[in-house]
């Protein structure tokens, strides 16, 4: 009797652990953007780009598919929408209209996908995993995260000049296809225009004739936790218009790790993915 009861309990425990997580498949584009196939309000089939730096959802003015069943008010806000992804149904999702999204996307969706729970971005298997219990993070390295204004910030060490490390905060930005994008203040203070090897440059002007110059360079080393990335693609702006206020850790770098975020958003756990040593994405 004891053995039989033990087996039942063991089976129940295993069954519960299997049921205690939800898997959400995604597609990774050649531009490093994560695309999730959704059905919104049971009518509109939309490809939404996952944006880790936002909580809710949005529709792009450049959408390729119709979003006729999302009703926006005068402030371009739509409340109380349902979003279905396979067997998962999200209720009370807020959409904003006319926000740009990545390539191949009709809009974007943020961390509402995970309902405030711990979650994993698994680039090795093209899936999110949402956990009801504390996830297994064996073989992962913990790094401190700061969650502020819908963004996850991490600290990384930048080797810009020789072997001197410059610590900086980066917001994780899955909507930016490239590697690093530095803030105007960091770029000016560290004289990136002089100290990085520049590989590309483009000048843009607004309607007032003010110019902004985007430059692409190569950062010799970037250290994230105990992992070191070499010859990292890094962009920054110079010119009259200086609107980049934070450093971005873009999608090309995000894909180089598998990520697990705890439910309180204070810790991330990272492990190199199959993309860790892939060539860097070139911003054109």
CA 181 to CA 183: how far, in whole Å? 7
CB contact at 8 A, 231 and 196: no
pLDDT above 60 for 173: yes
Higher per-residue confidence, 187 vs 9: 187
Higher per-residue confidence, 266 vs 165: 266
pLDDT of residue 104: 95
Percent of the chain residues topping a pLDDT of 70: 90
pLDDT band at 14 (very low <50, low <70, confident <90, very high): very low
pLDDT above 80 for 64: yes
Angle at 185 between CA 184 and CA 191, to 5 degrees: 90
pLDDT above 70 for 178: yes
Cα 7 to Cα 12, 17, 209, 216, distances in angstroms = 8, 15, 75, 60
Query: What are the pLDDT digits (tens) for 104-126?
Result: 999 999 999 999 999 999 999 99
Mean pLDDT over each residue of the chain, to the nearest integer? 90
CB contact at 8 A, 102 and 175: yes
Q: Which domains can be identified in the chain, with CATH numbers?
A: 20-131 (2.40.70.10), 141-272 (2.40.70.10)
Supply 260's token pair.
């697990």
pLDDT band at 245 (very low <50, low <70, confident <90, very high): very high
pLDDT of residue 203: 83
> In this structure, what are the phi and psi dihedrals at residue 63, rounded to the nearest 5 degrees?
-60, 145
pLDDT of residue 204: 73
Higher per-residue confidence, 5 vs 271: 271
pLDDT band at 209 (very low <50, low <70, confident <90, very high): low
pLDDT band at 207 (very low <50, low <70, confident <90, very high): low
pLDDT of residue 161: 81
pLDDT of residue 226: 95
pLDDT of residue 282: 87
């Amino acid at each position: 009797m004891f053995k039989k009861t033990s087996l039942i309990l063991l089976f129940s425990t295993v069954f519960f652990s299997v049921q205690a997580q939800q898997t959400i498949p995604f597609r990774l584009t050649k531009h490093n953007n994560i695309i999730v196939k959704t059905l919104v309000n049971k009518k509109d089939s939309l490809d939404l780009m996952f944006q880790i730096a936002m909580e809710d959802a949005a529709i792009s003015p450049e959408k390729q598919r119709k979003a006729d069943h999302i009703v926006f008010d005068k402030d371009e806000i739509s409340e109380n929408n349902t979003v279905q992804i396979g067997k998962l149904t999200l209720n009370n999702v807020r959409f904003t209209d006319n926000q740009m999204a990545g390539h191949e996307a009709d809009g974007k969706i943020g961390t509402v996908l995970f309902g405030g729970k711990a979650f994993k971005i698994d680039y090795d298997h093209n899936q999110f995993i949402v956990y009801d219990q504390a996830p297994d993070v064996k073989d992962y390295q913990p790094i401190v995260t700061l969650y502020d204004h819908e963004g996850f910030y991490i600290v990384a060490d930048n080797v810009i000049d020789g072997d001197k490390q410059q610590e900086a905060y980066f917001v994780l930005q899955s909507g930016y296809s490239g590697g690093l994008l530095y803030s105007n203040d960091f770029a000016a203070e560290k004289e990136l225009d002089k100290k990085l090897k520049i590989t590309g440059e483009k000048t843009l002007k607004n309607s007032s004739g003010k110019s902004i110059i985007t430059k692409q360079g190569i950062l010799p080393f970037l250290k994230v936790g105990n992992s070191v990335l070499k010859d990292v693609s890094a962009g920054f702006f110079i010119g009259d218009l200086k609107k980049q206020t934070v450093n971005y850790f873009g999608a090309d770098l995000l894909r180089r790790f598998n990520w697990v975020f705890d439910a309180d958003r204070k810790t991330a756990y990272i492990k190199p993915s199959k993309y860790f040593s892939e060539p860097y994405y070139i911003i054109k």
